[in-house]
Amino acid sequence: MYRIEQHPILSIPARPRVSFSWKGQALEALEGETLSSALFAAGERIFGHHAKDGAAQGIFCANGQCAQCLVLADGIPVKSCMELVRPGLRVEPVEGLPELPPVESGAAGLPEARPVETVRVPVLIIGGGPAGLSAAIELGRRGIETLLIDDKHRLGGKLVLQTHRFFGSIDAVYAGTRGIDIATRLETEVRSFPPVRVWTQTTALAVYSDKKVGALVGGRRYVLIEPQILLVTSGAREKNLAFPGNTLPGVYGAGAFQTLVNRDLVKPTERLFIVGGGNVGLIAGYHALQAGIAVVGLVEVLPECGGYKVHRDKLARLGVPVYTSHTVISANGRESVESVTIARVDGTFKPVPGTERSFDCDTLLIAVGLDPVNEFFDKAREFGLPAFAAGDAEEIAEASAAIFSGKIRGLEVARALGHDVGEISPEWYRTADILKSRPGATIHERTPAEESGVFPVIHCNQEIPCDPCTAVCPNDLIEMDETDIRLLPSFVSAKGGKGCTGCEKCVAICPGLAITLVDYRKDAEFPTVAIPFEFLKDRLAAGDQVTVEDTEGNALGRVEVAAVKALKANDRTVIVKVRAPREYAKKIAGLRLQPEEAAEPLGRYVTRTADDVIVCRCERVTAGEIRQCIRDGMRDINEIKAVTRTSMGSCGAKTCTPLIHRLFREEGVPDAEVVDQPKRPLFIEVPLGIFAGLEGKDDGHDNA
Ligand code: FES
């Protein structure tokens, strides 16, 4: 019922079904999917109630980082977002504290402990996302024995969630290709190198003082890995935000949402609201629309969205209101999200009374930034294990930057092992810096003066690292300063006696959907405008009336669709041709998809009281409790832990620590006065028995 049956970009493979039970009722799942996705697909999103205050619990990160999604699987507490469904599995919600399974008393009841295997390898890579895969390719090419481990059942990291074409350099990082397809290419290449071994569903648990890395292989076998060099490409975790109702089921990280929708093809919501106008939030909104989900709005506390303007613009054009200088006041609902309340903020980011508005929605995405998963790197350095980091684990940036930094780090690791890799070109380091750069200044759009023939109109008005449009024009008519792909492209009307032929290649490849083609050749008064469209072809047909918009999403008028083209060569980008009056044909940048009614506010506003703002999700400690400790003079987070139990839950303080630091700042305590809590292994919770060589459940995993 809650599965995606059709998608404009993703194929929907037929998969065998398996049966499991939830609260004693038989349910069906698809083979190889996680428990959380199987439950969502069945319409279940409350996975239990907290022991402290009975609050409903559900997923937050869908990435094994927050431990909010615990369920009991055959009596054992497991993270449902990391556990795959097995036929016949009995799954129950966690109501309060789970009970330990019974253990038979006496020596006869104890299983026999086995020695733990140690695997020695020149290079261990933690994380099979864009950076890890790119590094493994460089190492594999040089015949260097490498072990790459990843906690998911699929390689690719965040790439497998990205249906859009990538920005960046077409030469260096596959720009213009969709993230999902880059993941497949990188994985195929990695697996072609025999010296590179890959263990999926393998979770790195800790780096120890004897320079070994503990890992849980396939969820059942504990292994010690002793690398000469460790490369950490473990990506990022999403930041949290404290506001009333922030832990209600239905409030997720944007990455969790993309995992459900784009990886697992589950439709977890009908109406979505987004907090955060960085690239992650903007792209999540776009992915929601592609999956047929209404996006009610997006709030960004700053006066401008921090993500790429082209992402913001395409969302606005499709009919999603973007509320800048606004914040979320509360998520409302008793057991799960039923509405969200937002308000305008003043110059100090405080909500302005009287500007509150509530919107009907069942899901609220939190996309307020990422933190590097860098604890493995820090511990390796502390214990003297030679270590490198790349991708988001080193510095938060776009996946295209992670691909390139992984490539460079792969060469650096090879060199550190004594291999002759020659000089790594300074140009590579410069390219890496360019790919990491934040969006530059926005310029006023320059509309071409001519009104004859055929030519592209480039609606790309912000400097971002991106160059695919320059590579596809058969007559080389789109130019850019080749030394810096952040500079804006421009169209020249003729070169070598050749002009634009109207081939539409630039329209199809632009990752920002920011190029249209205006053709005056048949009718100068009503030229045809070719618009890129990444939705199902049959949503539009010749003869339909559509609202066309300028770059920013302002309506220009209603026009008739002349044709809808879905060419194989355009790789799932549909070209919609409309006939529009000459007065505004060149201004058209896109067409509205979502009706205005979908985003209208409720007639009244609702909100929750502020005393229940949860900072520590695992132990359900409120901002008020922690604030009181700070006001009582505590500066050591360990002391606050002892008083409140904050940071002592199963996520290992991953979600609350940044919020506690924020509370210190709000109370006027400088960072230098705050004593942080130490990061101690283990970084992920596991059954204790695995350290004695006791194997866990057998999930049929065939690694190692
Ligand atoms: S939702 Fe499963 S660990 Fe966060």
Lining ligand 1 with CB less than 6 A are 59-62, 64-69, 79, 81
Q: What pLDDT is stored for residue 696 in this prediction?
A: 60
Best mutation site among 35, 40, 47, 66 for ligand 1 pocket (most ligand atoms within 8 Å of CB): 66
With the most atoms of ligand 1 within 8 angstroms of its CB, the residue from 33, 34, 39, 59 to mutate is: 59
Is the distance from CB of 677 to CB of 640 less than 8 angstroms? no
Res 702: pLDDT? 42
Of ligand 1's listed atoms, the one at least distance from the Cα of 70 is 2
Q: Measured between alpha carbons, how far is 351 from 328 in angstroms, rounded to an integer?
A: 9
Closest Cα partner for 536 from 488, 507, 574?
A: 574
pLDDT tens, residue by residue, 426-440 = 888 998 898 888 898
Ligand 1 centroid to Cα of residue 683, in Å, is 14
Tell me, yes or no, if the pTM score tops 0.85: yes
DSSP string, 269-293: -SEEEEE--SHHHHHHHHHHHHTT-
Q: Report whether 656 contacts 644 (CB < 8 A).
A: no
Please say whether the beta carbons of 31 and 17 come within 8 A: yes
The 3-state DSSP composition of the chain as helix, strand, coil percent (nearest 5) reads: 25, 25, 50
Name the residue at shortest CA distance from atom 3 of ligand 1.
64
CA of 60 to the centre of ligand 1 (A): 6
Ligand 1, residue 62: give the atom nearest the CA: 1
Per-residue confidence (pLDDT) for residue 485, from 0 to 100: 84
Counting ligand 1 atoms within 8 A of each CB, the residue from 65, 83, 238, 257 with the most, and so the one to mutate, is 65
Tens of pLDDT, residue by residue over 269-306, are 999 999 999 999 999 999 999 999 999 999 999 999 99
The pLDDT assigned to 619 comes to 92
Going from the Cα of 642 to the center of ligand 1, the distance in angstroms, rounded, reads: 25
Taking the centre of ligand 1 as the mean of its atom positions, its distance from the CA of residue 62, in whole angstroms, is 4
Place of tokens 């979320």: 328
- DSSP states of 91-136: EEEEESSPPPPP---SGGGSPPP-PPEEEEEEEEEE--SHHHHHHH
Give 454's Cβ-side CA count (13 Å radius). Answer: 18
List, for the chain, all residue ranges whose pLDDT scores fall below the cut of 70: 103-110, 607-611, 695-704
Of 60, 239, 654, best ligand 1 pocket probe by most atoms within 8 Å of the beta carbon: 60
Q: Which atom of ligand 1 is nearest to the CA of 256?
A: 1
For residues 612 and 607, give the distance between their C-alpha atoms in angstroms, rounded to a whole number: 12
pLDDT at 107: 59
* Ligand 1 atom closest to the CA of 59, numbered from 1: 1
Q: Give me ligand 1 centre to Cα 65, in Å.
A: 6
